[in-house]
Amino acid sequence: MITLGAIDIDNNMYLSGVESASLVSVEQLWTIDGNSVTRAKPLNGGRLFTLGTQNQSGSTQGIWCYETIELIQALEQLAQGVVLSYRGTDYNVLISGTTFTPLHQFEEEGPYKKFLGTISLTEV
């Protein structure tokens, strides 16, 4: 199950950015006598995620409905951190942008109109 705050989202959405983000910062220092000292510290936040209907290979999976998009855009306007629960893992995120396009150009307006698109998220 995928949720963003209290919003239920289609389980077929793709989350990118989790695998490619570094979780550790490494710093190498040199002492006066020429020895190398390496320090590692965990990083919290700062990762950029994209939740949407297209994965990195360009295939489409999942559909946004208009009703869900309205809830997400209202959440974005609050500019507050929310919890993204994605397949058993929770992330504290801030919505940094949305992009949606109608799936069918001439589909009638309504709460179940279908869209493709993405939500850009920043881990906080």
CATH number, domain of 14, equals 2.40.30
The model's pTM is 0.74
DSSP per residue over 18-32, as a string? TTTS-SEEEEEEE-T
Cβ neighbors of 47 (< 8 A, separation 6 or more) are: 17, 18, 21, 122, 123
pLDDT at 61: 80
Give the domain range for residue 75.
2-123
Please give the backbone phi and psi of residue 67, each rounded to the nearest 5 degrees, phi first: -60, -45
Pairing between β-strand 2-4 and β-strand 24-30 as defined by DSSP bridges: unpaired
Q: How many domains is the chain built from?
A: 1
Neighbours of 8 (CB within 10 A): 12
Cβ neighbors of 74 (< 8 A, separation 6 or more) are: none
pLDDT at 31: 79
Contact 81, 124 (CB under 8 A): yes
Residue 24: is its pLDDT beyond 60?
Answer: no
Q: Measured between alpha carbons, how far is 16 from 19 in angstroms, rounded to an integer? A: 7
Residue 2: is its pLDDT beyond 80?
Answer: yes
pLDDT, tens digit (0-9, with 9 covering 90-100), for 61-114: 888 999 999 999 999 998 889 999 998 999 999 999 999 989 888 888 888 889
